[in-house]
Structure 1
Amino acid sequence: MRKIKYLTFAIIIVLLSLYLYENFIYYRFPFNPIKEYTSEPNIDFYFSRNLPNGEGITTKCQHANTCGLVLEYLSDLNLMPLKDNAAQGMLKYGNVTYFTGMLKFNESDKIFISDISIDTPNILRIYSPINGFKGGYYKIMDSKFDYNYIYNLTGDTEE
């Protein structure tokens, strides 16, 4: 009987710890999920500028060293995870220009970067179907997303 009581207590402590981590502690420390992929050898990067009138312009990195610079820029961002409802409150929707990007590793692994608007360039969403990827909304802590730098790196070539 004592073993069941201790086992129940241990399970409750573990579940409470997981709940606290997932809902409070995780959002207190900077984390950049792209950093784990900086050593990938073959990457492509697509970047789209979506205009308010519904038109979009998509560019692609033309050279491996350019894609490396983009990956380096993205992995060096100081990101703080945000809860989805907090991020939704910070984002400005409407008739604005926004940007999306996609990192493609090999043939199947992709990381998507979206919800980057000109009005809120310090909030972005990073997500991926890769198992174990910590996706969600992130706030850039020490700067703003430099979409002009990324757009200039990718060039003016449409895909």
Structure 2
Amino acid sequence: MKKIKYLAFGISIVLLSFYLYKNFIYYSIPFNPIKEYASESKIDFFMTKNIPDGEGINTKCKDTNTCDLVLEYFSDLKLVPIKDKAAYEMFKYENSTFYTGMLTFNESDKILISDISIDSPNLLHISSSIDGFKSGYYKIVDSTFDYNYIYNLISETET
């Protein structure tokens, strides 16, 4: 009988720990999912500036050195995951200019960086076609997203 009590107590402690990690601790640990891909070669970067009236301005990075600088910038961001509900409260969708970017590795693996708003430059959504990638909303800690740096870094504009 004592063994069953200890087993039940142990299982409840493990479940409580898992719940606390998944709902609180995970969202306080800095983590940048792009950092794992910082050493990749053969990358492309595509960025769209979405204007409120429905138009978009597309830019594409064709120079390898420039693409490396863009990847370095994204991988050096100090990010903390945040819950989707908190992100929706922070992000202003209506009448907002926002950016969407895509990193492509070896022509098949893609990382989509979206919902980068001029009004909320410290919030972004990162998702990927790569198996095991930790998709979700991330808050930039200690800085804001410098969209002018990225946009000016890419010299060729296609509309």
> Fold conserved (TM > 0.5)?
yes
Q: Which amino acid aligns with 1:150?
A: I
Quote the residue 1:26 is aligned against: 26
| 1:107 aligned partner | 107
Match of 1:144 in 2: 144
Once the two structures are TM-superposed, the CA of residue 14 in structure 1 deviates from its matched residue by 2.7
> Given the alignment of the two structures, is residue 40 of structure 1 paired with residue 40 of structure 2, yes or no?
yes
Tell me which amino acid in the other structure corresponds to 2:113: I
Does residue 154 of structure 2 align to residue 130 of structure 1? no
Please, which runs of 5 or more residues in structure 2 have no aligned partner?
A: none
1:85 is aligned to 85
Q: Using the alignment, how far apart are the partners of 1:8 and 1:110 within structure 2?
A: 44
Verify the 8 A CA contact 2:61 2:156 in the aligned structure 1.
no
Alpha-carbon distance in 2 for matches of 1:5, 1:108 = 52
Q: Give percent identity, aligned residues only.
A: 69
Counterpart amino acid of 2:136? G
Structure 1 Cα separation of the partners of residues 94 and 136 of structure 2: 21
Q: Which moved more, 1:64-73 or 1:11-20?
A: 11-20
2: CA distance, partners of 1:108 / 1:7: 47
Q: Give distance in 2, aligned partners of 1:153 and 1:140.
A: 20
CA-based RMSD: 1.7
Letter of the structure 1 residue corresponding to residue 130 of structure 2? I
Counterpart AA for 1:152:
N
| Distance of aligned partners of 1:8 and 1:108 in 2 relative to their CA distance in 1, 3 Å threshold | farther
Structure 1 stretch 113-122 or stretch 130-139: which is displaced more?
130-139
Tell me the TM-score normalised to structure 2 length.
0.91
Match of 1:16 in 2: 16
Counterpart position of 1:158: 158
Q: Which residue of 1 aligns with 2:66?
A: 66
Q: Is the 8 A contact 1:59 1:157 kept in 2?
A: yes
The amino acid that maps onto 2:36 is E
Secondary structure of the 1:115 match is: strand
- Is 1:47–1:154's contact at 8 Å kept on the other side of the alignment? no
| 3-state SS in 1 of match to 2:21 | helix
Conservation of the 8 A alpha-carbon contact between 1:38 and 1:71: yes
Letter of the structure 2 residue corresponding to residue 97 of structure 1:
T
Under a length normalisation based on structure 1, what TM-score does the superposition of the two structures give?
0.91
> 1:37-80: per-residue Cα shift (whole Å, max 9, x none)?
10111111111001111011111111111000000000111111
- Whether the 8 Å contact between 1:101 and 1:114 is mirrored in structure 2 is yes
Runs (4+) of structure 1 exceeding 6 A deviation are none
How far does residue 3 in structure 1 lie from its aligned partner after superposition?
5.7
Match of 1:57 in 2: 57
- Farther off after superposition, 3-12 or 35-44: 3-12
Deviation at 1:144, TM superposition (A): 1.0
